[in-house]
Structure 1
Amino acid sequence: MFKRFQTKLLQKQVAGGYRLYTHPANASYVEKLVLSWDTRRLTQAALETLAIIAYKQPITKMSISSIRGVNSEGVVASLVLKRIVKEMGREKSPGSPILYGTSNLFLKKFGLKS
């Protein structure tokens, strides 16, 4: 059993310690697991960020952080991972920041039509 278990996890040395990673061959299974997590249970920060995105879309992370008064990078990333928020394109400004908006899954999960 241990031998079988070893093929599913990879051990890598990171920052003076070790980390376990899933084997790349299992990426599709891990992705399905992560995406199946209950999206009804969003943190206060996630709900706040989602409300801003829904109201102001398309919007950049910098604008979201400015409105909230705190760095929102992690929250936006988690909403994208849950497929509630998606990249809508790029702003035509220096650095071409990504514009975010709500997805069809957002509409479905929250019972909205548009």
Structure 2
Amino acid sequence: MSIGGLNGMDGGASVNFSAEPAAPHSLARSSSTSPATQVRPFGDVEAAVAAIEALDRDLRKFELAVADSLQDYLGLQMAQITDSALARGWEPISFVQRDGFRVYRYKAMR
């Protein structure tokens, strides 16, 4: 079962749930790659929450890219994002630190 990607964009969200699993190195590419393979992390809590709320509840797994600027010292901004995922039935399972952002992985709760 593949994990889809959820990237931020100005004015909305782009969701890519391809049938092919993403290669581990493809989560973050340099700016010289095509826009379709670039990770654009969310830099706004409200946009990340709106993107999560727009997901199909039947989705089993997804990834959410979040800018380091949302990593406040108390964790309040990530708490808001994670709370929206928990409310819709997904729990965080891990994250990977990239240059300037983190990719959080969520899966459906049992």
- In the superposition, the TM-score normalised over structure 1's length comes to 0.27
- Give the structure, 1 or 2, with the largest relative contact order (CA under 8 Å, sep 6 or more): 2
**Greater per-residue helix proportion:** 1
**Greater per-residue strand proportion:** 2
Larger radius of gyration: 1
